[in-house]
Amino acid sequence: MELSIIPFDGLPCHCKLTINGRDADQSDFGTGYNIGVPDDEANGECYGGCEDFTFEIHSVIPDGVLTRYGITEDEWYMVASELGRVLSVGSCNECN
């Protein structure tokens, strides 16, 4: 499997993701959100800068994702784990 994860300079919680030469969507592997502000204040969104941005891996592989990218279940977990490592940026004020 060929994998490229390049975080955006101005928004390090998002990336240019390529799998086997195909543009890929990070939301096929998990969801990123700010865990540093209570939900009643920010609803998980990035308002005023993230205090603790994390990428949470999906508990179930979404339908069609393995076929879409030509990957195995083990490769899906590897991509998801790597996205979790790269995109869990913690404290950040880049989106302000």
- Grade residue 93 by pLDDT with cuts at 50, 70 and 90: low
**Predicted local confidence at residue 96, as pLDDT:** 56
| pLDDT at 24 exceeding the cut of 80 | yes
In tens, the pLDDT along 39-91 reads: 445 555 545 566 678 889 999 999 999 999 999 999 999 999 999 999 887 77
Task: Give the range of the structural domain holding residue 22, as residue numbers without chain letter.
Answer: 3-92
Rg (CA), the chain: 14
User: What sign does the dihedral 81-63-42-46 (CA atoms) show?
Assistant: positive
Measuring CA to CA, which residue among 51, 53, 49 is closest to residue 14? 53
User: Looking at the 3D structure of the chain, how many domains does it have?
Assistant: 1
pLDDT at 54: 84
pLDDT score for 48: 54
